[in-house]
Chains A and B, each alone.
Chain A
Amino acid sequence: MTVTITPTTLTWTTVCPLDRLDTDRGVAALVAGEQVALFRTADGIFAVDNRDPVTGAYVLSRGIVGSRGGAPTLASPLHKQVYDLRTGHCLDLPGVSVGRHEVRCRDGLVEVRLRQET
């Protein structure tokens, strides 16, 4: 699926209260029609594409988070490839990565801004 980012999607979108995110378990959100996977971890909140780049299924929000070395990670629930949540790079398959988005928490609310990947 090709993503065309229009200027209107580059704004912050309020997604949910922070307490709706369980620690170390993801949720999926719809932001301007895009599926985003959100994770709250001890290292902060991360937002990546919900689409698993290896299989094309929209499932990454259901992966297990953890760490590899010092990196906060996410494992795809389908075939377990592990991604660095900070960079989106797949740590198991060179050249594969998942798109990241900006996320922040303001006044107890989680906000997401879609990021245009280059």
Chain B
Amino acid sequence: MNTDRLVVVGNGMVGQRFVDALRARDTDRRWQVTVLAEETRPAYDRVRLSAFFDGVSADELNLHTPDDGVDLRLGEPATSIDRARRVVGTATGEHPYDALVLATGSSAFVPPIAGADLPGVFVYRTLDDLEALREHARGRRTGAVIGGGLLGLEAANALRLLGLTTSVVEFAPRLMPAQVDLAGGALLRRYVEELGVTCHLGVATTALRPGPDGTVAGLELADGTVVEAELVVVAAGIRPRDELARAADLPLGPRGGVLVDATCGTPDERIWALGECAAVDGVCHGLVAPGYAMAEVVADRLVGGAATFAGADTATKLKLLGVDVASFGDAHGTTPGCLDVTYVDPATRVYAKLVLSDDASTLLGGVLVGDASAYPTLRASVGGPLPGPPLALLAPAGAEGTGLAALPGTAQVCSCNAVTRDDVEAAIAQGAADVPALKACTRAGTSCGSCVPMLKQLLDAAGVRQSTALCEHFDASRRELFEIVRVRGIRTFSQLVAEHGRGRGCDICKPVVASILASLGGGHVLDGEQASLQDTNDHFLANLQRDGSYSVVPRIPGGEITPEKLIVIGEVARDFQLYTKITGGQRIDLFGARVEQLPQIWRRLVDAGFESGHAYGKALRTVKSCVGETWCRYGVQDSVGLAVALELRYRGLRAPHKLKSAVSGCARECAEARSKDFGIIATETGWNLYVGGNGGFRPRHADLFATDLSTEALISLVDRFLMYYVRTADRLQRTAAWIETMDGGLDHLRAVIVDDSLGLCAELDAAMNRHVTSYSDEWRDVLEDRDRLRRFTSFVNAPDVPDPSITFTEERGQPVPAVARTTPVALGMPEVRR
């Protein structure tokens, strides 16, 4: 069979999507594909680029799936096109083509401002840009962004996350001028400034000034203002990468870009262009959804189809600096004779505008700021009849669920992937019973995810329902929430509750979400909004006692401690008059500390080399051990060494409930490993792993899971066991109950984490690796941060006054609470029948 040679220039989101689409359609394997990429990384999710600063790794942004039929040449950019000979040149050779697809994307536009080439001035385009920016931010305090559009505000948020005091300079009189109108922009500005980002609007940047070290130090604005900035991001727009086409004498659009018609073809019938570098009928599209649509068009044409590009949905919904902003259709009301319906609620700080046709019957577009819950329904209705009375659509209370019934079957539910209501309902009829299933078979919700609430509504409307609701604020279970947060890269409770829940949360869902965010590496538990979600124990990183005082537990890995450290604990306890007790987990608990004493106590402990023991968290507590072969005449393995290694590996891992472990050095089992969530017992030749044990209210012996493991194999299994538990258990479900309620029980667990039956192991391994490498002592991090330390105050207006209600009396030579005990919460105790 004949094969034709296809060369794709560019491996961005759209280039990759094109290759995927072509490979899916080219069932005859007609095309032999070569991809020439400038970057050294395969395609990644540029839309979520900013998630990089929230701790999402470059790997997680990856969009590229290995394909043996595609020759992907990273770091080998195309440098020329010879149309006569039909070859693309690179620095290292030539690639002949029968068809050539240009997917070169765009580059950041840097306006000709004096000083724009200073060190410390960045663009915000690639992962390499972001890495360089993060490196430069280290140790610096101030930053500025030139450009208050979508990308500029994303960059501003990134600078905030890097700890810089941030300013935004925008030439237009409002933020996000392309998407939002003046009133919406004003509200957006209020939100943004409340986050500490200073906005300079309606003013041009005239120069960037260097500091004494030659790196950028500030911005001069046209109105004479000088803005201090040791790091500057230029986000003033993008320009299509059309230089290859230009040099090959292909026609360009009036504002640049490779000129193509609705087939995405250039006048040279062998050359196509798509994505941000293409000017379709003269117009460039800077969003990913139109690029994806072009990718489908060209893929179809290359296998003999006749698809055309029908125009672009420029709708945008995003969370910028914690604010929901959405814009869709004719947001600026440029259609002749169109009408506006505007809803402004200063109390809830919501702004919404609908643009209607002159007879008020057809929805043309709109803008939402502050609450974008109506976005999926509204966007899908653009160009059709209004799905309800305008006010009912806009008022936040009426937004959810309104109008779904009125939505025609041909309306696009997911415009990123062009999935209609009919498509979704057909998938439901064929048995898709939840959102993940719908995503898998329709691709709806797999790009920006904003239609996920609508997918749920469509499932509900079809009668598919199961209540695993976490609480009145979330219909999802903990396990489902975990997936939502993980897949969508959600970093805050407020985003989660706005998009996937209702109300303001409670003492059930807030700690659950805090734990999920922490499990996914959401940064320090006291940073930003996360602090407000924490139960008091996690909030003060100590254990609340009945009198309002707290207890402190430094980590003593494996229960092994030097005399010097024992002395420090004794001295701290003596100096702060703390009650001390040895715990069941082989460490020492110090009781009776007031909140304002906690940092002083921890300063001493951290200085002596201690770190948080996480006794306060739903997290790994201890790995208890017997003394093992080092001393014991029966021991067959180094149980203390393994316990220390395990405790250091899993310390700080936030989980649905606390986790306990133990290692015994021989079958006599002195460490009581079988009463633990994961227990290890030494054999002559290795280790036996037991899982799902429990002490406590309902004791359960752990089940034997695997035998005679090498240390390496053991750690790999425990990694996966813990991560699978973290991902899938219910709230406050210990591993014992988790395994008991699991469909298929222990066999299923074995299939998943030993045989990789769900194909999850690589992800679980990566997640654990991320946990291990990103671990940082929570208490040390508090002591180094004034903002976090500020929380440890007795009274906001009298920080020097200790809480007078906390008083002690003496019992057996130690301080104990002086206040009488009240009746504790009763647990049902078993009775003995006589």
Contacts and interface: CB of A to CB of B under 8 A. Distances in A.
Given A62-B536, A78-B544, A82-B507, A57 B796 contact: no
A20 B797 CA distance: 10
Contacts of B529: 23-24
A3 interface: no
B503 A66 contact: yes
Interface string B781-801: 000000000000111111001
Nearest to B821: A55
A20 B548 contact: no
Given A56-B822, A57-B805, A67-B503, A62 B540 contact: yes
A25 interface: yes
Nearest to A22: B532
B510 A64 contact: yes
Contact of A25 (B348, B473, B532, B547): B532
B504 A59 contact: no
B797 A72 contact: no
B465 to A, nearest CB: 22
A27 B535 contact: no
A64 B793 CA distance: 17
A73 B533 CA distance: 14
A73 B795 contact: no
Contacts of B268: none
Nearest to A14: B797
B511 interface: yes
Nearest to A75: B507
B255 interface: no
Contacts of A80: 507
B506 interface: yes
Interface residues of B, number: 36
Contacts of A31: 797
B390 interface: no
Interface in A44-88: 51, 54-59, 62-69, 72-73, 75, 77-80, 82
B317 interface: no
A55 B806 CA distance: 13
A64 B797 contact: no
Nearest to A24: B532
A65 B504 contact: yes
Size category of the A interface is 35 or more
A22 B505 CA distance: 16
B531 interface: yes
A15 B796 CA distance: 7
A72 B504 contact: yes
Contacts of A25: 531-532, 539
Interface string B505-542: 11101110000000000000000010111011001100
Contacts of A67: 473, 503-506
B546 A68 contact: no
Contact of B795 (A28, A42, A62): A28
Nearest to A20: B796
A35 B805 contact: yes
Given A27-B796, A28-B796, A58 B805 contact: yes
B472 interface: yes
A16 B504 CA distance: 25
B532 A59 contact: no
Nearest to B806: A58
A27 B539 CA distance: 12
A20 B794 CA distance: 14
B819 A64 contact: no
B472 A64 contact: no
A64 B504 contact: no
B24 interface: no
A63 B536 contact: yes
Contacts of A15: 796-797
A90 to B, nearest CB: 14
B195 to A, nearest CB: 11
A41 interface: yes
Contact of B506 (A38, A57, A58, A75): A75
B803 interface: yes
Contacts of B509: 66
A80 B533 CA distance: 14
A30 B503 contact: no
B825 interface: yes
A66 B546 contact: no
Contact of B546 (A20, A69, A78): A78
A61 to B, nearest CB: 9
Contacts of B532: 22-25, 64-65
Contact of A30 (B531, B797, B819): B797
Contacts of A105: none
A59 B548 contact: yes
Contacts of A75: 506-507
Contacts of B539: 25, 62
Given A23-B532, A25-B532, A66-B506, A57 B548 contact: yes
A22 B531 contact: yes
B592 to A, nearest CB: 13
Contacts of B548: 57-59
B474 to A, nearest CB: 12
Contacts of A35: 795, 803, 805
Which residue, B472, B547, B795, B803, has most C-beta atoms of chain A within 10 A? Answer: B795
Contacts of B798: 29-30
B504 A30 contact: no
A69 B107 CA distance: 49
A56 B531 contact: no
Contact of A68 (B472, B533, B796): B472
Interface in B534-591: 535-536, 539-540, 544, 546-548
Contacts of B797: 14-16, 29-31
A57 B509 CA distance: 24
Nearest to B505: A66
Contacts of B504: 24, 41-42, 65-67, 72
Contacts of A64: 505-507, 510-511, 532-533, 535
Interface string B85-115: 0000000000000000000000000000000
B822 A59 contact: no
B507 A54 contact: no
Contact of A77 (B544, B803, B805, B819): B544
Contact of A29 (B348, B472, B796): B796
Among B348, B806, B825, chain A packs the most CB atoms within 10 A around the CB of: B825
Centre residue among B536, B547, B798, B801 by max chain A CB count within 10 A: B536
Contacts of A23: 529, 532
Contacts of B794: 28
Contacts of A77: 535-536, 544
B803 A58 contact: yes
A62 B503 contact: no
B506 A82 contact: yes
Contacts of B506: 64, 66-68, 73, 75, 82
Contacts of A55: 546, 822
A39 to B, nearest CB: 10
Interface in A1-35: 14-16, 20-25, 27-31, 35
Contacts of A69: 472
Given A24-B532, A28-B796, A62-B540, 10 more contacts: A28-B803, A29-B795, A56-B822, A57-B546, A57-B547, A67-B503, A67-B504, A69-B472, A78-B546, A82-B507
Interface of B: 348, 472-473, 503-507, 509-511, 529, 531-533, 535-536, 539-540, 544, 546-548, 793-798, 801, 803, 805-806, 819, 822, 825
Closest 8 CB pairs of A and B: A75-B507, A66-B506, A77-B536, A67-B504, A24-B532, A64-B507, A27-B796, A62-B536
29 contacts: A15-B796, A25-B531, A25-B532, A27-B793, A27-B795, A27-B796, A29-B796, A30-B795, A30-B801, A35-B795, A38-B796, A42-B504, A56-B819, A57-B805, A57-B819, A58-B548, A59-B548, A62-B544, A63-B507, A64-B506, A64-B532, A66-B503, A66-B507, A67-B473, A67-B504, A69-B472, A77-B535, A77-B536, A79-B825
